[in-house]
Amino acid sequence: MNNFIIVDHPLIKKDLTIIRDVNTSTEIFRITVERISSILCVEVSKNFPLTEKEIETPLEKTIGFELSRQVVLIPILRAGLGMVNGFLELIPNAKVGHIGLQRNEETLEPIEYYFKTPQQLENSEVILLDPMLATGGSAVEAINYIKKRGVKNLYFVCIVAAPVGVERIQKIHPDVKIFAAVLDRQLNDKGYILPGLGDAGDRTFGTL
């Protein structure tokens, strides 16, 4: 699959085991999602452009670097919120927007209820966050909204992806890079990923 990157890392595999486990508490689930998100952040940002910056060490002047573009994190509500802190740990000056898309449980298609992002997205590195890429409906809808703002540098980051969701994004938005911790087998008849980890929003916020 073009533009689909699985971040294959021993620490992610260890942490995936924790969040898949039905016996994992809300607290541990939330902390573990943040840890996985930080590792994903390293991979997503690997090719971000840099600008040279002259600084002074305690001994002499030298050349360092800073990110050339503003980074904007946009979690898809509400499960995407669980990934934000993991990214902010590494990019603390990132701005954060929000997209609210609620799934129609009969059609499995997304319904928008909230959209708020920083201004001037067109010159930013924009990272959409959602732990689960299932049917791809919400992801595609979110990408549609973001592209209307003139965004050129756009990434979709999830923890668990299903083949149908990846294929849907790549068919409609082949220019968007998708990063995932793992590609799972399939969806069940209710649109949940198998083997998956259940409802990521409920498990993050304890609303089971």
Q: 89-148 pLDDT, tens per residue? A: 999 999 999 998 776 667 666 676 778 888 888 999 999 999 999 999 889 989 998 998
**Residue 96 sits in a domain of what CATH number?**
3.40.50.2020
103 among known catalytic residues: yes
The tokens describing 160, both together, are 């668990």
Q: What's the 3-state SS for 68-98?
A: CCCEEEEEEECCCHHHHHHHHHHCCCCEECE
Question: Does residue 199 have an active-site annotation?
Answer: yes
Prediction pTM value:
0.92
Q: What total number of domains does the chain contain?
A: 1
- Please name which of 173, 181, 138, 166 lies closest in space to residue 152, comparing C-alpha atoms: 173
Whether 184 sits among the annotated catalytic residues: the reply is no
Among 35, 69, 78, 103, the active-site one is 103
**How large is the average pLDDT for residues 7-36?**
97
**Mean pLDDT, residues 185-189:** 94
Which entry of 107, 175, 185, 207 is annotated as an active-site residue?
107
pLDDT exceeds 90 at position 200: yes
- Structural domain including 179 reads 4-205
